[in-house]
Amino acid sequence: MQLSQRNNSEVIFTLLGFSEYPELQIPLFLIFLAIYSITVIGNIGMVQIIQINPKLHTPMYFFLSHLSFVDFCYSSTIAPKMIVNLYAKDRSISFSGCMAQYFFFCAFVITEAFLLAAMSYDRLVAICHPLLYTAIMSQKLCTALVVGSYAWGEACSLIFTCSALQLSFPDFSTINHFFCEFSSLLSLSCSDTAVDQSLLFTLATFNTVSTLFIILLSYLFILVTILKMCSASGRRKAFSTCASHLTAITIFFGTILFLYCVPNSKNSRHTVKVASVFYTVVIPMLNPLIYSLRNKDVRDTLKKILAVKIFS
């Protein structure tokens, strides 16, 4: 074990990224730089807007502020290195750097999944039990749900990272991806990875199925409640309340299911890279747009901030 750890400390990975398309390097660099810039501004801006406007100091926006923070963090774990590698000749990353990137990315992605599940429960209480909403969704419960999401995300990430640390790798390896993704690392290892592959599939499936179960069950009760409403305007308002969250979970979980919950996937590496770009770079940009464009209080606060900046 000591020999393996000593060798791993000297291991250098090369992230292949999109280098097989040299004619697309500059266009991709500009596109991803623009997307990441929007992601940073959108998510940090959303957190600040929620803090500024007292009307937004509600459980729903408490969860949304943490969702924006998590989106910013896991995009920032991947995007800067990916953007630099689009024009840099040296695409290498050290073993410790690779493990650190994977740990933080995995922790924030799992945290996001459970935050989305917590937000679905929040919508369930708001629509099915509106008179008890404040009592049920107390600050104590909201804090517990958020802390639990972060804690479980870090625990799962620690398990995966420790598993990867036990593997041995050649001194120089090429990862056919734009970041240190667990299944890509397993394919390069000189060790027996059967246990690690089973661990990846089991935990990834558990996390996805458990969060989707909470979400689907919550929306089943929401749908039944909405259908029982006599007022057409009430039904429209209820559906509108859930539209942003439904859009976010459909995009996020659709991509995750496509990538990780089918063992021995026959998808080409090109398809996997495109799907990975979607949930590592595009989704963190879309979430603040999805929630802000459909919310009057957020739009009004943003307009006030911009007016102050322009006329000050």
For residue range 262-303, what is the model confidence (pLDDT) as tens digits?
Answer: 554 445 667 778 888 888 899 999 888 888 766 777 777 777
pLDDT exceeds 60 at position 186: yes
With beta carbons less than 8 A apart as the criterion, state whether 128 and 221 touch: yes
For residue range 42-77, what is the model confidence (pLDDT) as tens digits?
Answer: 999 899 888 888 888 899 999 999 999 999 998 999
pLDDT exceeds 60 at position 6: no
Largest Cα separation within the chain, whole Å, is 71
- What is the pLDDT, as a whole number, of residue 211? 95
Rounded mean pLDDT, 78-107: 91
What is the spatial distance between Cα 206 and Cα 209, in angstroms, rounded to a whole number?
5
Helix (H), strand (E), coil (C) string for the chain: CHHHHHHHHCCEEEECCCCCCHHHHHHHHHHHHHHHHHHHHHHHHHHHHHHHCHHHCCHHHHHHHHHHHHHHHHHHHHHHHHHHHCCCCCCEEEHHHHHHHHHHHHHHHHHHHHHHHHHHHHHHHHHHCHHHHHHHCCHHHHHHHHHHHHHHHHHHHHHHHHHHHCCCCCCEEEECCCCCCHHHHHHHCCCCCHHHHHHHHHHHHHHHHHHHHHHHHHHHHHHHHHHHCCCHHHHHHHHHHHHHHHHHHHHHHHHHHHHHCCCCCCCCHHHHHHHHHHHHHHHHHHHHHHHHHCCHHHHHHHHHHHHHHHHC
Confidence band for 261, pLDDT divided at 50, 70 and 90: low
Confidence band for 311, pLDDT divided at 50, 70 and 90: low
What is the spatial distance between Cα 206 and Cα 198, in angstroms, rounded to a whole number?
12
pLDDT exceeds 70 at position 2: no
136 is written with which tokens?
A: 């049920």
| HSE-CB for 224 with a 13 A CA cutoff | 8
pTM of the model: 0.89
For residue range 116-128, what is the model confidence (pLDDT) as tens digits?
Answer: 999 999 999 999 9
| Amino acid code (one letter) for 256 | I
- What is the pLDDT, as a whole number, of residue 4? 46
Question: How close are the terminal C-alpha atoms of the chain, in Å?
Answer: 62
- What is the pLDDT, as a whole number, of residue 30? 94
| Amino acid code (one letter) for 55 | K
With beta carbons less than 8 A apart as the criterion, state whether 111 and 24 touch: no
